[in-house]
Chains A and B, each alone.
Chain A
């Protein structure tokens, strides 16, 4: 599904990602963790195509970002830690716009289900700039999940959410993976009961896979450094 080969990314003279390689299969949920400033958000933005990559290759389902840019972008959706919306459109209109642009048939049922799932139904006629940070993140998740991208990238998805929404999101991610999608999310903590298929430790610009078994304790994993 996701295939990254020798990815290097620099901010000026600071090398954030160094010759990084990674493979994820379809149906996997991967948790990316690391210390502040390790480059988690940068990696997600590179994979989403939001940041121009000069060294290395990234491909999803065999479609290369560099060679087939447009086809690649149709495979990926990234929800950043602070998503922004159209000021003039309501939450429901954002879903409508997204669904119609992606030609999703009978999108209304799926959109209503997602809003209900994330407890946003009452706010569907409201403008997102009036939402709290957590509600904005939930709406962004609804928008991304609505189009069911083969690769779903999430930056710090649990940071802004309440305990109930964390469980809901985890279920949604598991559901997405069951349907053949791949999820790569960065986080400093995993919700109780969450068991990602893969744990990826980003350190010194490179990925180190970590054995995942039982309850995930990222504090313990980080302190092993």
Chain B
């Protein structure tokens, strides 16, 4: 035990250095340098504290306004449903930890900490604390706001105390759920592969137990609602005791952790962490590729086969199907949701802004520029970024587009079609072809970015310029004819023109 505390102190020393460096970075972003005078530092801290309080007050005001929209009877019914909802949230979190074990080490830890004779229990405990700190704090704020929403709606007395109590209980519950979640996930990671699957049974077992013994399983949620109803010191004591037990379980499971397995599991995380915070945000495609590689590398059986055929288009279609099947289990849902979402957003903008308003079309263009069908164009885009692969593809970029983008665009098109048909202000006979034609146009604009039109007639056309030019032509077409049919004809003509340009393109 003494050794473990010594290890914890060593890790705390390392973490302090790291946190100091991070704090210096964030303070610099907020306009405070280490070399600044104390007077300026105090002024800057005061300014940002005031800003935080002002923001918090604004959010509280919005929550209070929202609470007036919720009738007290509905609020009471919702409050009754909170304990099972808290359990569902805990089980989802547990499932996520089972799916992706939480103990991961960054590159410096892999090089120095993992290789050193440091207690694995101490490493697990320390990574848990550093990983949970911001999450628990954020959840405490959110928990406090939700409790205040209920309190205002139910006209409960002692609003200020309710906010503080709820924040404290949520903070404690976050640590409790985290400690037990980490402990179980680590225990699962330490177990042999056959028994590992049995851990998933915990989730339905806990649901069943909540139904049979609600007092034993739903008490965390009830402790949270207790923060609104009135302080329940017994729940608080139970929470602290359960948290201590959870931390003990975490240390025990962490102490048995298989370091080689953890190091292996940490490789992708370490590579992503190396990119830094802004690097991770700016290089989302790199992060996505690293994650996809990690997922693919774990697979023992790759689904799908490229069909044996002599046709170029069929080969490319087969390739895109295989890539889609292997890419991610969520890709089809993501494609569908992206199509439905953007159509709904554009539909809402036109409906509420009015089709004759210039601002409406400016907003529509911004939405469409932001909505680049990246996922649908992924198979097409890969060789564009890797010239070694691109040289083996057909010279006709339109053929490559048709082979590699048709399938994902069809899936996205289903989402787009549903979004278009759901618009109450437009007849499906016009909304459907207009939306699908626009999707094809966006995809072609994306594809055109990868080519120069043959003979140097036109340079490479950036996606944004393509969308603005084509969008303007569609609006002008609609206005000139004085009907949506004019816009539809313009969309069809633009799609044909874009396809013709793409077919004449050579790699940019």
Give chain A's interface residues, CB within 8 Å of chain B.
Answer: 48-50, 52, 69-71, 73-74, 76-80, 83-90, 93, 96-98, 100-103, 127, 129-130, 140, 143, 147
Asked if B428 is at the interface (CB within 8 A of a chain A CB), the reply is no
> Would B391 and A77 count as touching, CB distance under 8 A?
yes
- Chain B contributes a number of interface residues (CB within 8 A of A) equal to 35
| A104 CB, nearest partner CB in chain B, Å | 10
* With contact pairs A90-B302, A93-B322, A101-B312 given, residues A73 and B395 touching in the complex (Cβ less than 8 Å): yes
Q: List 17 A-B contacts (CB under 8 A).
A: A48-B391, A50-B387, A73-B391, A78-B387, A80-B387, A85-B388, A86-B389, A87-B289, A87-B292, A87-B293, A88-B322, A88-B326, A93-B322, A100-B312, A127-B296, A127-B302, A143-B392
Query: Contact partner of A80 among B315, B316, B388, CB < 8 A?
Result: B388
Expressed in whole angstroms, the Cα–Cα distance for A76 and B203 within the complex equals 58
Asked if B356 is at the interface (CB within 8 A of a chain A CB), the reply is no
**Which chain A residue shows the least CB distance to B305?**
A93
Q: Which A residues touch B319, using CB under 8 A?
A: 86, 89, 97
> Would A70 and B396 count as touching, CB distance under 8 A?
yes
Asked if B479 is at the interface (CB within 8 A of a chain A CB), the reply is no
Expressed in whole angstroms, the Cα–Cα distance for A134 and B454 within the complex equals 37
**8 Å CB interface, B380-408 against A:** 382-383, 386-389, 391-396
* With contact pairs A101-B312, A130-B297 given, residues A86 and B382 touching in the complex (Cβ less than 8 Å): yes
* With contact pairs A49-B507, A70-B506, A100-B315 given, residues A147 and B392 touching in the complex (Cβ less than 8 Å): yes
> Would B388 and A102 count as touching, CB distance under 8 A?
no
Q: Which A residues touch B389, using CB under 8 A?
A: 84-86
**8 Å CB interface, B454-502 against A:** 454
9 A-B pairs with least C-beta separation: A70-B395, A100-B315, A84-B386, A69-B506, A88-B326, A88-B323, A83-B388, A50-B387, A98-B392
> Would A74 and B388 count as touching, CB distance under 8 A?
no
> Would B387 and A69 count as touching, CB distance under 8 A?
no
Query: Contact partner of B315 among A71, A79, A101, CB < 8 A?
Result: A101
* With contact pairs A87-B292, A93-B322 given, residues A101 and B393 touching in the complex (Cβ less than 8 Å): yes
Q: Which A residues touch B410, using CB under 8 A?
A: none
Query: Contact partner of B296 among A50, A79, A88, A102, CB < 8 A?
Result: A88
> Would B297 and A127 count as touching, CB distance under 8 A?
yes
* With contact pairs A69-B454, A87-B293 given, residues A101 and B392 touching in the complex (Cβ less than 8 Å): yes
Asked if B309 is at the interface (CB within 8 A of a chain A CB), the reply is yes
Total number of A-B contacts with CB less than 8 angstroms?
A: 91
Known: A49-B391, A87-B292, A100-B309. 19 other contacts (CB 8 A): A48-B391, A50-B391, A50-B507, A69-B506, A73-B395, A78-B391, A80-B387, A84-B389, A86-B319, A86-B382, A87-B293, A88-B296, A88-B323, A88-B327, A90-B302, A97-B319, A98-B392, A101-B312, A101-B316
Expressed in whole angstroms, the Cα–Cα distance for A86 and B320 within the complex equals 11
Expressed in whole angstroms, the Cα–Cα distance for A86 and B395 within the complex equals 19
Contact with A along B105-148 (1 / 0, CB 8 A): 00000000000000000000000000000000000000000000
Q: Which A residues touch B394, using CB under 8 A?
A: 101
* With contact pairs A73-B395, A84-B388, A89-B322 given, residues A103 and B297 touching in the complex (Cβ less than 8 Å): no
Q: Which A residues touch B396, using CB under 8 A?
A: 70
Q: Which B residues touch A83, using CB under 8 A?
A: 388
Q: Which B residues touch A76, using CB under 8 A?
A: 391
Query: Contact partner of B388 among A78, A89, A93, CB < 8 A?
Result: A78
> Would B289 and A93 count as touching, CB distance under 8 A?
no
Expressed in whole angstroms, the Cα–Cα distance for A76 and B507 within the complex equals 14
Asked if B306 is at the interface (CB within 8 A of a chain A CB), the reply is yes
Asked if B310 is at the interface (CB within 8 A of a chain A CB), the reply is yes
| A125 CB, nearest partner CB in chain B, Å | 8
Q: Choose among A78, A102, A127, A140 the residue with the greatest number of B CB atoms under 10 Å from its CB.
A: A127
Expressed in whole angstroms, the Cα–Cα distance for A71 and B506 within the complex equals 11
* With contact pairs A87-B289, A89-B322 given, residues A103 and B391 touching in the complex (Cβ less than 8 Å): no
| B404 CB, nearest partner CB in chain A, Å | 11
> Would B293 and A129 count as touching, CB distance under 8 A?
yes
Q: Which A residues touch B302, using CB under 8 A?
A: 90, 127
**8 Å CB interface, B49-100 against A:** none
Q: Choose among A77, A79, A84 the residue with the greatest number of B CB atoms under 10 Å from its CB.
A: A84
Expressed in whole angstroms, the Cα–Cα distance for A79 and B292 within the complex equals 25
| B132 CB, nearest partner CB in chain A, Å | 33
Expressed in whole angstroms, the Cα–Cα distance for A74 and B393 within the complex equals 10
Q: Which B residues touch A48, using CB under 8 A?
A: 387, 391
Q: Choose among A88, A100, A101 the residue with the greatest number of B CB atoms under 10 Å from its CB.
A: A88
Q: Which B residues touch A143, using CB under 8 A?
A: 392
**8 Å CB interface, B175-205 against A:** none
Q: Which A residues touch B296, using CB under 8 A?
A: 87-88, 127, 129
| B464 CB, nearest partner CB in chain A, Å | 22
**8 Å CB interface, B413-462 against A:** 452, 454
Expressed in whole angstroms, the Cα–Cα distance for A12 and B99 within the complex equals 50
**Which chain B residue shows the least CB distance to A147?**
B392
Query: Contact partner of A96 among B292, B306, B382, B386, CB < 8 A?
Result: B306
